[in-house]
Amino acid sequence: PSDCASRTKQQPAITNPHNFSVDLRMPGVIPARPDTYLCMAFPVPTGRDAYIVDFIPHASMDTVHHMLLFGCQTPVSSSSYWDCGSVQGTCEDEASIMYAWARNAPPTKLPKDVGFKVGRSSGMSYFVLQIHYGDVAAFRDHHRDCSGLSLRMTSKPQPFIAGIYLLMAVDTVILPGKRVTDADVACDYSSYPIYPFAFRTHTHRLGKVVSGYRIRNGKWSLIGRQSPQLPQAFYQANAEVDVKYGDTVAARCVFTGEGRTSKTYIGGTSDDEMCNFYLMFYMESKHAIPYMSCMETGSKELFQHIPAEANVPIAV
């Protein structure tokens, strides 16, 4: 409630000259309708490289449904804030997700010695913060909202960089009334070792469960599985599962077409669907390949061996 007042609060005494923090806050907004998506862009406050080492959310629990932080080169708008409820209303170029806050979900912590690299040389010159205001009843008193995020940053190079590997299905069709449709994605991994520590799943209404795996020598190891109907935050990944050259990374989204009267396709509206498995990892800084994606439909042969748990619904 007093978030707007604390915006100008001075930071505590600086103990290390490399450390600083950045406040990304809505500039006192009053969302008019339920399910309003507002975005704001912030230039990364240094020409040199810097690392995000911690995220501190400031969100009004009664109105904010979720917050996503993206990094990119060119935000779609230069206004102080804009409506970004439309399809991909964040960046002109490809945006990369770095943080997700969702109501009633535990927030993500980066492991020690791990940071997201930002700044011009990393291609991340802007932060874009998206806030989804769900229930706006609390705004009947016309108070202004300054929800957002503080980033703890350092200019000191970190031993490990954080990154995101996004697996997404692009050509799934869900037939109306059909009880189960699997969307399968898989890619051979041919880069430096990555160490997954968190994952996030995303579908729209029809998604039941999304699972991600590493396949090594024919053996499937679970990185994480979750119901996309639970808050879409980053959840803790199965820590033992690293991914290295020669492995395959795979994901399955399970959908149901029950209740639909026409075909559902992949797309940006809430009547469309998406199938996303975001794997958040760290890797040695010297390799620094922070963003990767996989959009290949895995072979039927491969997915014959997926563990049965991938099709077991998760209670919500």
User: Which residues belong to the active site?
Assistant: 65-66, 130, 132, 202, 204, 274
Instruction: Output the furthest CA–CA distance in the chain (Å, rounded).
Output: 61
Candidates 23, 49, 54, 94; binder of ligand IYT (CB under 6 A) is: 94
Candidates 25, 66, 117, 208; binder of Cu ion (CB under 5 A) is: 66
Query: What span, in angstroms and rounded, lies between the C-alpha atoms of 214 and 226?
Result: 16
Residue 168 touching ligand IYT (CB under 6 A): yes
Given the complex with Cu ion, which of 132 and 260 has the nearer CB atom? 132
Q: Which does 66 bind (CB under 5 to 8 A by kind): ligand IYT, Cu ion, none?
A: Cu ion
Q: Is the dihedral of CA 289, 295, 298, 303 positive or negative?
A: positive
Residue 276 touching ligand IYT (CB under 6 A): yes
Residue nearest to ligand IYT (CB): 202
Residue 65 touching Cu ion (CB under 5 A): yes
Return the amino acid letter for 174. Answer: I
Q: Under rule CB under 5 A, which residues in 107-136 are in contact with Cu ion? A: 132
Q: Under rule CB under 6 A, which residues in 5-64 are in contact with ligand IYT? A: none
Query: What span, in angstroms and rounded, lies between the C-alpha atoms of 115 and 283?
Result: 10
Nearest to 126 by CA among 156, 101, 90, 154: 90
- CA distance between the termini of the chain: 29
Query: What span, in angstroms and rounded, lies between the C-alpha atoms of 156 and 141?
Result: 44
Give Cα 216 distance to the centre of its chain: 26
Given the complex with ligand IYT, which of 264 and 276 has the nearer CB atom? 276
Closest separation between CB of residue 164 and ligand IYT, Å? Answer: 8
Residues that bind ligand IYT (CB under 6 A): 68, 70, 94-97, 168, 202, 266, 274, 276
